[in-house]
């Protein structure tokens, strides 16, 4: 029996439908109207209220306590437990289907939603999907060819250069003494690292950074029509830019990732030219703002928990554990999603083809069934012989983040650099989170260093 309460909170009226048109069922066929309304209210509080932006953790706990398996009034389901999220993301009966990345949000019928779909269809004709939007066997083939070039060795080899890039940002911060750490450090660093890795000439970095910022805004399901149009144009600029650069590297390879992607071959199988371009663009889209948020969210939590900042200054060896704890405590990516590809029963729910499901990664990282004291920010949690469970922030299964190691190395170099260069870090104004749904990060982070 499929039923929905229609008891929508006011955020729903403001936003319209955000995800799947289909209704998921509990296996026993009963949706409790009160629980459904409560789950939708909590979802709205996390993602559309100033309280939720400032601190979603109490809402995560309410989700886990009251509606860990939630069938939304908008269709689709939301899973918040660690084990359920992991199981779902690893289940081959769920994937992208034909809706591409962000498929969990495919049924938005607003003007912006229509533009997004039109843009997606247009691109599908002209450009291949990146691996993020593919299902096996296409995903398997593309990921295996890209991973061949994107090895842990490639990432570790980059560490000294990442340190230099961090030092450059810290020079700017030191000179300013008081400034916005997002603008001076968290925003420029990740784009510079990916540019360096791909072999983009230094003089082009500022242009690339601007275009990437515009493209990433479109990954949010709540992106406005104007943001989508800007992203569309920026994506075309990047596509042409990398078309030219691939041409140059094909004739004259260098020791960079773009040349390695051109060379990556499995027997006779190689990445096509368009797949190389889609991959280059994906690395910026998936690796820039996410890592920016790792840095910003980390600074925010350290400033909010001065005892932990003091502990860090006293013991620099805690940096790797700190980075894990930031990822767990304040996940840069809050949501992941899948579409059902064939009938399946998971977490007490019955799914049919086309049903949508979201996993609330931020909440999974605070699941008391998995973590002791889940709501304590404890920078030593991952230090020592018995590390906690791996964080859910990088997803799970076949789409597990390809850049997880790179992001961690960047985070480690940033916080190690801050400790090396400064003996004091203080806040210097209000820190405000952006009103984003998928990516959670600060708008500004004013700090003083000495």
> Using CB under 6 A as the criterion, which residues of the chain lie in contact with ligand HEM when the complex forms?
89, 131-132, 143, 194, 282-283, 286-287, 290-291, 294, 332-333, 336, 393-395, 399, 401-403, 406-407
Taking alpha carbons only, the member of 300, 331, 330 closest to residue 446 is: 300
Q: In angstroms, what is the minimal distance from the CB of 344 to ligand HEM?
A: 17
Q: In angstroms, what is the minimal distance from the CB of 292 to ligand HEM?
A: 9
Q: In angstroms, what is the minimal distance from the CB of 385 to ligand HEM?
A: 25
Show the tokens assigned to 243.
């078309």
Q: In angstroms, what is the minimal distance from the CB of 200 to ligand HEM?
A: 13
Phi, psi of 435 (to 5 degrees): -85, 70
Q: Indicate the Cα dihedral angle 182, 186, 189, 194, nearest 10°.
A: -120
Show the tokens assigned to 84.
């359920």
Measured between alpha carbons, how far is 362 from 374 in angstroms, rounded to an integer? 11
Query: What's the distance, Cα to Cα, between the start and end of the chain in Å?
Result: 63
Measured between alpha carbons, how far is 227 from 115 in angstroms, rounded to an integer? 11
Q: In angstroms, what is the minimal distance from the CB of 13 to ligand HEM?
A: 29
The helix or strand, by DSSP H or E, that contains position 164, with its residue range, turns out to be helix 159-176
Closest residue (Cβ) to ligand HEM? 403
Nearer to ligand HEM, 151 or 178 (CB): 151
Q: In angstroms, what is the minimal distance from the CB of 136 to ligand HEM?
A: 10
Nearer to ligand HEM, 38 or 440 (CB): 440
Nearer to ligand HEM, 127 or 229 (CB): 127
Q: In angstroms, what is the minimal distance from the CB of 232 to ligand HEM?
A: 21
* Number of Cβ atoms within 10 Å of the Cβ of 262: 18
Nearer to ligand HEM, 261 or 286 (CB): 286
* Number of Cβ atoms within 10 Å of the Cβ of 372: 9
Cis, peptide link before residue 5, omega less than 30° from 0: no
Phi, psi of 196 (to 5 degrees): -60, -45
Nearer to ligand HEM, 36 or 192 (CB): 192
Nearer to ligand HEM, 31 or 379 (CB): 379
How big is the chain, counted in residues? 450
Strands (E), 27-92: 69-71, 77-79
Nearer to ligand HEM, 56 or 73 (CB): 56
């Amino acid at each position: 029996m499929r039923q929905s309460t229609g008891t929508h909170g006011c955020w729903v009226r403001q936003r319209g439908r955000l995800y799947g048109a289909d209704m998921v069922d509990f296996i026993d066929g009963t949706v409790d109207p009160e629980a459904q309304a409560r789950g939708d209210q909590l979802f709205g509080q996390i993602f559309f209220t100033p309280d939720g932006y400032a601190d979603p953790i109490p809402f995560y706990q309410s989700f886990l306590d009251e509606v860990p398996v939630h069938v939304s009034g908008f269709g689709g389901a939301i899973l918040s437990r660690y084990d359920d999220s992991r199981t779902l993301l690893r289940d081959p009966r769920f994937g992208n289907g034909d809706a591409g990345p962000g498929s969990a949000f495919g049924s938005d019928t607003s003007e912006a939603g229509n533009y997004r779909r039109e843009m997606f269809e247009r691109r599908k004709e002209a450009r291949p999907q990146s691996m993020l939007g593919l299902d096996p066997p296409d995903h398997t083939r593309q990921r295996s060819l890209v991973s061949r070039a994107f090895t842990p060795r490639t990432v570790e080899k980059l560490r000294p250069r990442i340190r230099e890039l961090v030092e450059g940002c810290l020079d700017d911060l030191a000179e300013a003494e008081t400034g916005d750490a997002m603008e001076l450090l968290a925003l420029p660093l990740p784009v510079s690292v990916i540019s360096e890795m791909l072999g983009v000439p230094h003089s082009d970095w500022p242009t690339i950074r601007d275009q990437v910022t515009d493209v990433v805004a479109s990954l949010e399901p709540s992106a406005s029509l104007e943001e989508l149009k800007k992203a569309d144009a920026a994506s075309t600029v990047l596509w042409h830019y990398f078309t030219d650069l691939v041409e140059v590297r094909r004739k004259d390879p260098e020791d960079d990732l773009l040349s390695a992607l051109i060379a990556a071959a499995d027997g006779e199988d190689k990445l096509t030219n368009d797949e190389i371009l889609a991959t280059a663009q994906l690395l910026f889209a998936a690796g820039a703002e996410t890592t920016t948020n790792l840095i910003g969210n980390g600074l925010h939590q350290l400033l909010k928990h001065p005892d932990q900042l003091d502990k860090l200054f006293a013991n620099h060896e805690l940096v790797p554990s700190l980075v894990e704890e930031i990822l767990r405590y304040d996940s840069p990516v809050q949501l992941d999603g899948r579409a059902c590809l064939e009938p399946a029963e998971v977490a007490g729910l019955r799914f049919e083809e086309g049903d949508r499901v979201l996993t609330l990664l931020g909440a999974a990282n605070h699941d008391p069934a998995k973590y002791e004291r889940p709501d304590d920010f404890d920078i030593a949690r991952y230090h020592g012989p018995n590390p906690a469970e791996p964080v859910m922030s990088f997803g799970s299964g076949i789409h597990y983040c390809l850049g997880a190691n790179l992001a961690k190395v960047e985070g480690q170099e940033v916080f190690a650099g801050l400790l090396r260069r400064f003996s004091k870090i203080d806040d210097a104004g209000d820190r405000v989170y952006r009103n984003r749904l998928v990516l959670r990060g600060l708008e500004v982070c004013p700090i003083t260093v000495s």
